[in-house]
Amino acid sequence: MVGQVRGVNRAQLGAALRALRVASGKEAEAVARSALMSPSKLSKIENVKPAPSATDAERALTAIGVSDQVKAKCTRTRVSDRIDSMASAQADRVHKASRPPRPWKPRCRCCGCFSPH
């Protein structure tokens, strides 16, 4: 089993994956192949281009050979980040719904534009 990770957040997950991969001595291509993803996708995840899905993170951690405890910690962090972003989006929708409606503007009958002909 490879290294330990303490309290990894979304921004640190890619760097943690890379550090664990390097510590395991495995090449990126071998890890990517085992994780059922392309080497370029693994590279992007390690460089924090897209935040990895929970499935991708778990596959990469399995391919690296980390303990179940580390996998659970990283995956739990990823899921809690997703829940936080969903709560934020919900708050935005509630805020948007509480705004007053836009004033109604008449449209012309011929083409539906807002200017009179």
The predicted-structure confidence for 43-85, as pLDDT tens digits, reads as follows 988 887 767 777 888 888 889 988 888 777 776 655 556 666 6
* CA trace torsion 39, 45, 50, 56 (10° rounding): 80
Choice between 99 and 20, residue whose per-residue pLDDT is larger: 20
Residue 83 CA, distance from chain mean position: 11
pTM: 0.56
- The sign of the CA dihedral 112, 114, 116, 117 is negative
Choice between 91 and 79, residue whose per-residue pLDDT is larger: 91
Cα distance between residue 104 and residue 117, in whole Å: 18
pLDDT > 70: what percent of the chain? 62
The predicted-structure confidence for 96-110, as pLDDT tens digits, reads as follows 667 676 666 666 777
Q: Could you tell me which of 48, 70, 52, 49 has the C-alpha nearest to residue 61?
A: 70
CATH H-level, domain 10-98: superfamily: lambda repressor-like DNA-binding domains (1.10.260.40)
